[in-house]
Amino acid sequence: MTYTPSRLALNGIEKSFPGIKALSGVSFEVRPGEVHGLLGENGAGKSTLLNVLSAVLSADMGEIKIDGAEVHLSSPADARAAGIAMIHQELQHIPALTVAQNLFLGRPMKRVGGLLVDRSGQERKAREILAGLDPSINPATPIHELKVAQQQIVEIARALLDDAKIIAMDEPTSSLTPSEFERLAELIAELAGKGVSIIYVSHKMDEVFRICDRATILRDGQFIDTVDMAGISQDQVIAKMVGRELQAATHRSFATEEVMMQVDGLGDGKMIRNASFEVCRGEVLGIAGLVGSGRTELLRLVAGIDRATGGKITVCGKEAALRTPRHAIASGIGLVPEERKKDGIVKSRSVAANIALPCMDRFSAGGLIKRRELHAEATELMSKMRLRPPDVQRPIGQFSGGNQQKAIIGRWLAADVDILLFDEPTRGIDIGAKSEIYDLIEELAASGKSIVVVSSELPEIIRVSDRVMVMREGEIAGTLTGSDITEEQIAALAIPKSKATGSSASAPNYEVQA
């Protein structure tokens, strides 16, 4: 019997940063044509390992073998030449350039003589490679005009252009609809069928079990196990990831009858039309709906980011003029945005500095920051929220997504707002951190804060909400309470009438909840 070497073998990979052991002797193998999950909580070492594999970082120790031969990768170009491609969660393209230009970015095709770019040749080659992925994508189209799912397909096309043997995908479905995920799953299966090895990173357990053959689990930078997905349960995988069994939690209500915010006939002249609702002290109001239903747009109006063209908002019995975010903060409203890295944090600044952003007047005098007072306040807040590592002077960009989210929540506690708006609060956050975010939301409600939560995950909405308001095409389709808050009832309200007839409701991707 002839031995077939693994497509990829990682042996004893170690990587340290100042004060942190990110990877400690990680070893595992990926087979040819295998879809191999890479699982673990935020901070487990997944991103560091992928950065080592793609030669963005160099390992302190260990070896990488491809098809049985050791490779030495000193740059991302070396990794590409060795057949390794990386598809990042934040897609790597230049929006103003065309699809073809992005495909050949950094390695343009040249005309005879080698001085001019062969644009027609690039478009022809791009069309050939896209024909097997998505023929509807025009290589001459500026890439920013494509849907996120199509932009991701362009990233896959770029990998195939390099004849990649190994494609690593980091949270590829964080911005995809269920139908777009299904198309991606089909593409992954087709690539695997051609012998391409896929490394798949996702916090969504349903996706991992749907498409992965095996998975390697990391915890605190260490290899825990490689498991066959057909022979293990989701609960067993989660226990290996977090080092303990997560107990199923039921919703606890702290809602009162005291109305904190009343929204009447709010609209933006575009997406949102005649939105009216109220939120009481201690209540968690969930907002559900399909992608594009207006959920985020509604929160942006309430938070003063976008200007309303009609309607009014009353906070604690007083009409609020929410023309800017500053007005919203002054009225006691704080937003935890959907795009955390883009809109929620200043990556290069410390956790303490990020916490102080909306209330700098509290921590400054005469134009100087009261650093000792800010440090003490941030340390106390982050201790309550179990920030890991507990270093409020560390740049926030160096923390995991879950810990960044805790810092953003802490920001609004420092600003002492009464109404908190959460837009996709656990997107890109691991299962253990999700449980902590849910606990924080409950603790905030118990302390008398009013909470509004937008989420695409129906189990999440059901878990945290006292009431669920469902949006459809920019309007409020209905509000559910008590035993009526079910996935079926939410989906029935969310789907436009013309699309509901003769078809079943398609709920957003289900994530295993803690």
Structure tokens at 192: 């695997």
133-154 mean pLDDT? 88
**Nearest-angstrom CA–CA distance, 485 and 20:** 44
Same domain, 377 and 456: yes
Check whether 79 has a pLDDT greater than 70: yes
Same domain, 128 and 164: yes
Same domain, 289 and 437: yes
Same domain, 229 and 264: no
| 431-452: pLDDT as tens digits | 777 888 898 999 999 999 999 9
**Nearest-angstrom CA–CA distance, 410 and 377:** 10
Burial of 456 (C-beta count, 10 Å sphere; 0-12/13-18/19+): buried
- pLDDT of res. 245: 60
341-362 mean pLDDT? 91
Look at residue 499 and tell me if it is in a domain. Answer: no
CA distances from 177 to 8, 182, 291, 419, 424 (A): 31, 9, 7, 29, 14
For residue 117, how many other CB atoms are within 10 A of its CB? 13
Q: Quick one: which of 427, 41, 407 has its CA closest to 246?
A: 41
Query: Are the beta carbons of 288 and 458 closer than 8 angstroms?
Result: yes
Sign of CA dihedral 429, 434, 440, 444: positive
Same domain, 13 and 69: yes
16-25 mean pLDDT? 87
Number of domains in the chain: 2
**Nearest-angstrom CA–CA distance, 165 and 163:** 6
Q: Quick one: which of 268, 415, 264, 404 has its CA closest to 334?
A: 415
Same domain, 222 and 328: no
Half-sphere CA count of 197, side-chain side, radius 13 A: 21
The domain boundary residue, chosen from 185, 217, 242: 242
Mean pLDDT rounded to a whole number for the chain:
88
Same domain, 304 and 237: no
Structure tokens at 144: 């920013």
Q: What is the DSSP letter of 246?
A: P
Q: Which secondary structure element, helix H or strand E, spans residue 477, and what is its range? A: strand 475-481
Look at residue 504 and tell me if it is in a domain. Answer: no
Same domain, 441 and 320: yes
Backbone angles phi, psi at 28, to 5 degrees: -170, 170
Residue owning tokens 């069309």: 127
Q: What percentage of the chain reaches a pLDDT higher than 90?
A: 59
CA distances from 231 to 27, 197, 214, 215, 226 (A): 21, 21, 10, 11, 11
Look at residue 511 and tell me if it is in a domain. Answer: no
Q: Report whether the peptide linkage leading into residue 390 is cis, meaning its omega lies within 30 degrees of zero.
A: no
Same domain, 235 and 365: no
In degrees, rounded to 5, the angle at the alpha carbon of residue 495 between the alpha carbons of residues 491 and 498 is 145
Check whether 514 has a pLDDT greater than 50: no
What is the longest distance spanned by two Cα atoms in the chain?
A: 80
Structure tokens at 17: 């940063």
Q: Quick one: which of 228, 216, 196, 199 has its CA closest to 67?
A: 196
Same domain, 145 and 19: yes
pLDDT bracket for residue 278 (50, 70, 90): very high
Look at residue 512 and tell me if it is in a domain. Answer: no
| 369-392: pLDDT as tens digits | 889 999 999 999 999 888 888 899
Look at residue 232 and tell me if it is in a domain. Answer: yes
Same domain, 184 and 93: yes
For residue 506, how many other CB atoms are within 10 A of its CB? 14
| Range of lowest pLDDT (95-99, 223-227, 289-293) | 289-293
- pLDDT of res. 47: 87
Look at residue 185 and tell me if it is in a domain. Answer: yes
Position with higher pLDDT, 243 vs 313: 313
Q: Quick one: which of 328, 318, 311 has its CA closest to 277?
A: 311
Position with higher pLDDT, 336 vs 238: 336
Position with higher pLDDT, 286 vs 511: 286
Range of the domain at 85: 8-242
Burial of 2 (C-beta count, 10 Å sphere; 0-12/13-18/19+): exposed
The domain boundary residue, chosen from 242, 271, 303: 242
Query: Are the beta carbons of 422 and 456 closer than 8 angstroms?
Result: no
Same domain, 279 and 208: no
Query: Are the beta carbons of 87 and 159 closer than 8 angstroms?
Result: yes
- pLDDT of res. 247: 58
CATH assignment at residue 490: 3.40.50.300
Residue owning tokens 């992925």: 133
Position with higher pLDDT, 161 vs 430: 161
